Chain A
Amino acid sequence: MDFSYSVLIPLIPLFAFLIIGLGGNKLKALASGLLGTTGLGVSFILSLYTAYQYFFVFGKSAEGVYQKIVAFDMVWLRFTETLHINMGVLLDPISVMMLVVVTTVSFMVHIYSMGYMKGEVGFERFFAFLSLFSFSMLGLVLATNIFQMYMFWELVGVSSFLLIGFYYQKPSAVAASKKAFIVTRFADLGFLIGILLYSYSTGTFDFGLLTNVDGELIRKGTEAGFLGLSMLTWSLILVFMGGAGKSAMFPLHIWLPDAMEGPTPVSALIHAATMVVAGVYLVARLFPVYALSSPDALEVVAYIGAFSSLFAAIIACTQFDIKRVLAFSTMSQIGYMMLALGVSGYGEHGIGYMASMFHLFTHAMFKALLFLAAGAIIHAVHTNDLREMGGLRKYMPITHITFFVALMAIAGIPPFSGFFSKDEILVAAFEHNKIIFFSSMLVAGLTAFYMSRLYFSIFWGKNTHYHHTPHETSPVMYIPLIFLALVTVFAGFIPFGELVTSDGKALHLHIHWNIAIPAVLVALTGIGVATALYMKESKTPDKVVASLGGVYKTILNKFYFDEIYMFVTKKIIFNLISKPIAWFDRHIVDGTMDGIGWVTTTSSEKMKNFQSGQLQQYAIVFISGVIALVLIFSYFSTN
């Protein structure tokens, strides 16, 4: 089977970007929107076709194992004989799955944005950037080698930067975009050093060679140690640092809540469904190496994931900005995916791997749905603040129902998709590590609680009086909601275990009721508590808050992490390093150079007095010189 057409999937959005970007001023707004959307639509259909061909027709080898197919590959830049960056298309279960995720969400977001961004200044620019992002994300997903991935990784970062800062005249948006870029850039420094270290010991960037479990490279670098860990472990931890930055894992998460300054469709696409899971995808891509050669690095992934998941879920309970609640929820759910990878084994023990990918898929759909619904709500009531909402179920029935579907899915209530994927994660955690398992259970309860709090505060609660009566959005905005809601309802029944596994062999899975039932009970408890507190307007939440006192305040302020980072950058790096360097350069280094100049001019100033033109003076100097020399010579010759 020839999959070479799949190279078009990323290229179509690229062309759309170039056409809209270069001809933006001349194109009508609507034309650029339609161009971008159509382009993505074609990519979407091609991706579905590829997925069908790959999973059900040609993907399996004779032994029934899904293969890695390189559909396209060319050398882009050569460093040494073996180290070269290629541009290519790699098809394997996870990349094909990601193709579907990215193009589905991106296509829906494009359609939605036609309505959401209508009449905005910079409509063309918005669609140009969306196309650029889609291109970069697809390039990342399809990368055949780690350096290609890194390149698209950076491009994804810059698209995110451009889109967060879309309202560039708003200082908070500019600050947020800067923060997102710099924090992820810092993480990418780790990624880059990781790649360089890793490729130095293995001599290749190619995923096919690096992750070949029968090959010799997979164990390269496990011996030479540094501070008790092998070189390979160090490089994998550094690579994971890049992933943690992009996926907003603790402690590199601080950019994600601020990134909500971008237009809401952007949050849905980039900061919920696609870019933020790139870190998970990265670990999954290198999973055989993590699992087989560096369990220590995988352990780091597990703990960072589990901690981030809990940390974010706690903060999400206290936030009032609906997009920020969703942002922390995203961080928490990505923590789930990370920990699932972290606790997973390889091959037939790879349930965590499969669960992580499964959750990535279902989460992308329902979280995109939640963000798009949030966008519709914000559009209708012109505020992000939960406290200014309430009773919206009457005004926005479609948004209400779709939001409810997503709520059920994220809370893990059967038969919605989130239930299935979360169940597998909990099973994997239970088998591997009890602490992580209990923390995940706690997170499940918290998730159900804060999502229900969000839901009730928006759609139930008090009957707020609005200046303009809110109304349901236009079809162009609610059709994507309905589509994603349908996916969310049915995605749980996709036999993921058959399709996406760590070694390409099918895993036969069933629901573990001994874990599923407690998990559902925990979720129901969370929902129950939220119902009691928020369904009707009441004073109880305030009382609870008052009784928590300082703890609540700390959580509300996100454990003061922004302040800590601010302190480090502003006070330490800017004021204690950068300013002194600038001063040092101007006054010490340059001062020395000027000083040399000064010494030269001043001494010549003094010396020129010797050239007085007076014969008597010359004679005196001459004679005293001769006398001095005579004295010196006679002194030395007598010795």
Chain B
Amino acid sequence: MDILTLFVTIPVLTMLAIGFAKNTQQVRLISAVGMSIQLLNAVRLLFAFFAERKAGNTAEFLFTQDLVWFKSLNIHYAIGVDGIAVAMLVLTAIIIFTGVFASWTMKELTKEFFISLILLATGVFGFFISLDLFTMFVFYEVAVIPMYLLIGIWGSGRKEYSAMKLTIMLMGGSALLMVGLFGIYFNSNVAGGELTWNLQEIAKIQIPIEAQRMFFPMLFVGFGVLGALFPFHTWSPDGHASAPTAVSMLHAGVLMKLGGYGAFRVAMYLMPEAAQEQAWIFIVLTSISVLYGALGAIMQTDLKYINAYSSVSHCGLILFGLLMMNQTAMNGAILQMISHGIMTALFFALIGMIYGRTHTRMIDKMGGLMKVIPFLSVAYVIGGLASLGLPGFSGFVAEMTIFVGAFQHADIFHRVATIIAVSSIVVTAVYILRVVGVLLLGPIKNDEFLQLKDAEWHEQLTLVTLIIGIAGIGIAPLWLSDLIGEGLAPVVAKLLAAIH
């Protein structure tokens, strides 16, 4: 079986195997083994990809496969990856791997929980390997739907409300996507011949500008809802607050990235003229998002809300970078997807671990945790520093790439938007240091917390894996930036060609 299809097969087999498990112990073990294999497969893909490139294979997408599965609508199971997709697959594999370990102590309905969790991941993996827009959309839905169950059943707080809200908003986004994708499909044969869903085929033609003007905003907003585009981000604070740890990790870590990925891979790549025309609207929205999310995070007291707003800010930066539409800024945007993915997974994992001990997420009820749970606290500080863009961690690399790219536009509009976005680095420092100061430092507020135990092995494994991820990218970013840059080149070329 080819290496890409394995990305879907391994999780499916894991889910089947979980179905036969006899107890929680086995469920955990099977999930862990399955996802470890998945992670190894992702690493193998990375090396295989580099080897192919080194061997001189310059095709835009590698490891392609094409099987027809719905003849009358010409829907194919078409797969293939470029550098960006490879990076996203590795990211997803890391997050689901750590997500399994972060759910180690899950007690109720473990079998169903792990199956749903892995099903969600399967959708994400499938999405990133797809080259057929319809197949891509199917995988997208596979990723979104288990979310409802995962929050509604295993969540906390107002879980039904949050699950419903999240699902309905994302479904609203899906509806826009569906219409937009059909719009592309019915315009995919300008030169005559068969209609197609194939991304590569459609990229070769120019969709009529009237159609672009109509369908670009649908697709961009549709994906943008998932990428927490202001003002469609409000599912995120409630959703995250109610979701169980691993679900938050996966959701903020990779699912939200589907939004950004789709936005450039489908919306911008296939409809570059409309993207150039309408970018300004979304630049306004995203630069607002970046600062607004950060300012919104300052006064929050619930750890998950803080991280949710911080995600609004960081994900805003992803879309912002994409909309700058040059090689550098878009490269930064994708680095930011990966960086934010790992970082936010780290935060949600830590929040889950802290909540599991103190049974509260309110920072003003805690304090001085550094003294009692130093491992978790140091991990939190590292995550915080990464999040505020300290050099040596991935966030810095991503943000600086976006900013340098954005500064290549010399007109006043872009300059102002960029400076608004750049100024978020100060606000981010404010809310991060506030949390660190209140939560971890200072005297211990509650004597009960003196009994807390520090991280166990599976928690340490989760945290260390994620920290290695952000520090690794932060210390040696060149290979990743080159990997992404090469994948971006055709997209950027199309976008630049679309400038009148």
Interface residues, chain A, with chain B CB atoms under 8 Å away:
75-80, 83, 85, 147, 150-152, 154-155, 158, 165, 168-171, 174-175, 178, 181-182, 185-186, 188-189, 192-193, 196-197, 199-200, 573-574, 577-579, 581-582, 585, 589-590, 592-594, 597
Q: What are the residues of chain A within 8 A of B235 when measuring CB–CB?
A: 593
Query: Of residues A200, A573, A578, which shows the largest number of chain B Cβ atoms within 10 Å of its Cβ?
Result: A578
**Top 7 closest A-B pairs, CB basis?**
A151-B391, A590-B234, A578-B298, A168-B441, A196-B407, A174-B441, A185-B429
Give Cα A78–Cα B371 distance, bound, in whole angstroms.
41
Q: Is the Cβ of A174 less than 8 Å from the Cβ of B396?
A: no
Taking the nearest CB of chain B, how far is it from the CB of A335, in angstroms? 25
Q: Is B248 interfacial (CB-CB < 8 Å)?
A: no
Interface residues, chain B, with chain A CB atoms under 8 Å away:
165, 168-169, 230-232, 234-235, 237-238, 292, 295-296, 298-300, 309, 327-328, 368, 370-371, 385, 388-392, 396-397, 400-401, 403-405, 407-408, 410, 419, 422-423, 425-426, 429-430, 433-434, 437, 440-444, 477-478, 481-482
Give Cα A573–Cα B422 distance, bound, in whole angstroms.
17
Q: What are the residues of chain A within 8 A of B298 when measuring CB–CB?
A: 573-574, 578, 582
Q: What are the residues of chain A within 8 A of B478 when measuring CB–CB?
A: 75-78
Q: Can you name 12 A-B pairs with beta carbons within 8 Å? A: A80-B328, A151-B391, A155-B390, A169-B368, A169-B442, A169-B444, A189-B425, A199-B404, A573-B298, A574-B298, A590-B234, A593-B232
Taking the nearest CB of chain A, how far is it from the CB of B313, in angstroms? 11
Q: Is the Cβ of A152 less than 8 Å from the Cβ of B482?
A: no
Q: Is the Cβ of B390 less than 8 Å from the Cβ of A154?
A: yes
Q: What are the residues of chain B within 8 A of A579 when measuring CB–CB?
A: 299
Q: Is the Cβ of A168 less than 8 Å from the Cβ of B442?
A: yes
Q: What are the residues of chain B within 8 A of A171 when measuring CB–CB?
A: 442-443
Taking the nearest CB of chain B, how far is it from the CB of A253, in angstroms? 18
Give Cα A573–Cα B429 distance, bound, in whole angstroms.
14
Q: Is the Cβ of A158 less than 8 Å from the Cβ of B390?
A: yes
Contacts A174-B441, A175-B437, A582-B300 known; list 14 others, CB within 8 Å: A77-B478, A178-B437, A185-B429, A188-B425, A192-B422, A192-B425, A199-B404, A199-B407, A574-B298, A578-B296, A589-B234, A590-B238, A593-B165, A593-B235
The A interface is mostly helix, strand or loop, or mixed, namely helix
Q: Which among B403, B404, B425, B433 is the interface contact of A178 at CB below 8 angstroms?
A: B433
Give Cα A155–Cα B393 distance, bound, in whole angstroms.
11
Taking the nearest CB of chain B, how far is it from the CB of A573, in angstroms? 8
Give Cα A189–Cα B426 distance, bound, in whole angstroms.
7
Taking the nearest CB of chain B, how far is it from the CB of A204, in angstroms? 12
- Which residue of chain B lies nearest to A151 when distances are taken between CB atoms in the complex? B391
Q: Is the Cβ of A593 less than 8 Å from the Cβ of B404?
A: no
- Which residue of chain A lies nearest to B430 when distances are taken between CB atoms in the complex? A182
Q: Is the Cβ of A174 less than 8 Å from the Cβ of B437?
A: yes
Given A171-B442, A196-B403, A585:B296 Cβ within 8 A: yes
Q: What are the residues of chain A within 8 A of B407 when measuring CB–CB?
A: 196-197, 199-200
Q: Is the Cβ of A83 less than 8 Å from the Cβ of B404?
A: yes
Q: Which among A147, A174, A182, A577 is the interface contact of B429 at CB below 8 angstroms?
A: A182
Q: Is the Cβ of B292 less than 8 Å from the Cβ of A581?
A: yes
Q: Is the Cβ of B422 less than 8 Å from the Cβ of A193?
A: yes
Q: Is the Cβ of B234 less than 8 Å from the Cβ of A585?
A: yes
Taking the nearest CB of chain B, how far is it from the CB of A86, in angstroms? 11
Q: What are the residues of chain A within 8 A of B400 when measuring CB–CB?
A: 77, 79, 85, 147
- Which residue of chain A lies nearest to B485 when distances are taken between CB atoms in the complex? A78
Q: What are the residues of chain B within 8 A of A78 when measuring CB–CB?
A: 478, 481-482
Query: Of residues B327, B391, B410, which shows the largest number of chain A Cβ atoms within 10 Å of its Cβ?
Result: B391
The B interface is mostly helix, strand or loop, or mixed, namely helix
Q: What are the residues of chain B within 8 A of A573 when measuring CB–CB?
A: 298
Give Cα A78–Cα B481 distance, bound, in whole angstroms.
8
Q: What are the residues of chain A within 8 A of B423 when measuring CB–CB?
A: 189
Q: What are the residues of chain A within 8 A of B403 when measuring CB–CB?
A: 192, 196
Q: Is the Cβ of A174 less than 8 Å from the Cβ of B408?
A: no
Q: Is the Cβ of A593 less than 8 Å from the Cβ of B419?
A: no
Given A181-B429, A192-B403, A578-B296, A597:B437 Cβ within 8 A: no
Q: What are the residues of chain B within 8 A of A585 when measuring CB–CB?
A: 234, 237, 292, 296, 309
Q: Is the Cβ of B408 less than 8 Å from the Cβ of A200?
A: yes
Q: What are the residues of chain B within 8 A of A196 when measuring CB–CB?
A: 403-404, 407, 422
Q: What are the residues of chain B within 8 A of A593 when measuring CB–CB?
A: 165, 169, 232, 234-235
Taking the nearest CB of chain A, how far is it from the CB of B201, in angstroms? 31
Taking the nearest CB of chain A, how far is it from the CB of B175, in angstroms? 13
Q: Which among A79, A154, A175, A192 is the interface contact of B401 at CB below 8 angstroms?
A: A79
Give Cα A163–Cα B407 distance, bound, in whole angstroms.
34
Give Cα A581–Cα B410 distance, bound, in whole angstroms.
30
Give Cα A105–Cα B133 distance, bound, in whole angstroms.
63
Q: Which among B328, B396, B443 is the interface contact of A79 at CB below 8 angstroms?
A: B328
Q: What are the residues of chain B within 8 A of A77 when measuring CB–CB?
A: 397, 400-401, 477-478, 481
Q: What are the residues of chain B within 8 A of A581 when measuring CB–CB?
A: 292, 295-296
Taking the nearest CB of chain A, how far is it from the CB of B289, in angstroms? 11
- Which residue of chain B lies nearest to A197 when distances are taken between CB atoms in the complex? B407
Give Cα A200–Cα B423 distance, bound, in whole angstroms.
18
Q: Which among B230, B433, B434, B441 is the interface contact of A169 at CB below 8 angstroms?
A: B441
Give Cα A196–Cα B399 distance, bound, in whole angstroms.
13
Q: Is the Cβ of A79 less than 8 Å from the Cβ of B442?
A: no
Q: Is the Cβ of B385 less than 8 Å from the Cβ of A589?
A: no
Give Cα A80–Cα B327 distance, bound, in whole angstroms.
8
Taking the nearest CB of chain A, how far is it from the CB of B406, in angstroms? 8
Give Cα A581–Cα B440 distance, bound, in whole angstroms.
26
Q: What are the residues of chain A within 8 A of B234 when measuring CB–CB?
A: 585, 589-590, 593
Give Cα A594–Cα B162 distance, bound, in whole angstroms.
11
Q: Is the Cβ of A155 less than 8 Å from the Cβ of B391?
A: yes
Q: Is the Cβ of B426 less than 8 Å from the Cβ of A182?
A: yes
Give Cα A582–Cα B312 distance, bound, in whole angstroms.
13
Q: Is the Cβ of B295 less than 8 Å from the Cβ of A578?
A: yes
Q: What are the residues of chain A within 8 A of B419 when measuring CB–CB?
A: 193
Give Cα A193–Cα B415 distance, bound, in whole angstroms.
10
Q: What are the residues of chain B within 8 A of A189 when measuring CB–CB?
A: 422-423, 425-426
Give Cα A554–Cα B423 distance, bound, in whole angstroms.
33
Q: Which among A151, A169, A182, A197 is the interface contact of B443 at CB below 8 angstroms?
A: A169
Q: Is the Cβ of A152 less than 8 Å from the Cβ of B391?
A: yes
Taking the nearest CB of chain B, how far is it from the CB of A149, in angstroms? 11
Give Cα A490–Cα B234 distance, bound, in whole angstroms.
66
Q: Is the Cβ of A200 less than 8 Å from the Cβ of B429?
A: no
Q: Is the Cβ of B442 less than 8 Å from the Cβ of A174?
A: yes
Q: Is the Cβ of B295 less than 8 Å from the Cβ of A76?
A: no
Q: What are the residues of chain A within 8 A of B238 when measuring CB–CB?
A: 590
- Which residue of chain A lies nearest to B371 when distances are taken between CB atoms in the complex? A169
Q: What are the residues of chain A within 8 A of B404 when measuring CB–CB?
A: 79-80, 83, 196, 199
- Which residue of chain A lies nearest to B292 when distances are taken between CB atoms in the complex? A581
Give Cα A307–Cα B442 distance, bound, in whole angstroms.
36
Taking the nearest CB of chain A, how far is it from the CB of B87, in angstroms? 16
Q: What are the residues of chain A within 8 A of B327 when measuring CB–CB?
A: 80
Give Cα A158–Cα B386 distance, bound, in whole angstroms.
11
Q: Which among B292, B385, B477 is the interface contact of A158 at CB below 8 angstroms?
A: B385
Q: Is the Cβ of B425 less than 8 Å from the Cβ of A200?
A: no
Taking the nearest CB of chain B, how far is it from the CB of A583, in angstroms? 9
Give Cα A80–Cα B419 distance, bound, in whole angstroms.
20
Given A83-B404, A174-B441, A154:B299 Cβ within 8 A: no
Q: What are the residues of chain B within 8 A of A165 when measuring CB–CB?
A: 441
Q: What are the residues of chain A within 8 A of B443 when measuring CB–CB?
A: 169, 171
Q: Which among A85, A185, A197, A582 is the interface contact of B299 at CB below 8 angstroms?
A: A582
Q: What are the residues of chain B within 8 A of A75 when measuring CB–CB?
A: 478
Give Cα A247–Cα B481 distance, bound, in whole angstroms.
34
- Which residue of chain B lies nearest to A25 when distances are taken between CB atoms in the complex? B374
- Which residue of chain A lies nearest to B431 when distances are taken between CB atoms in the complex? A578
Query: Of residues A577, A585, A589, which shows the largest number of chain B Cβ atoms within 10 Å of its Cβ?
Result: A585
Given A79-B405, A165-B441, A178-B437, A186:B390 Cβ within 8 A: no
Q: Is the Cβ of B296 less than 8 Å from the Cβ of A597?
A: no
Give Cα A150–Cα B391 distance, bound, in whole angstroms.
9
Q: What are the residues of chain A within 8 A of B422 when measuring CB–CB?
A: 189, 192-193, 196
Taking the nearest CB of chain A, how far is it from the CB of B481, in angstroms? 6
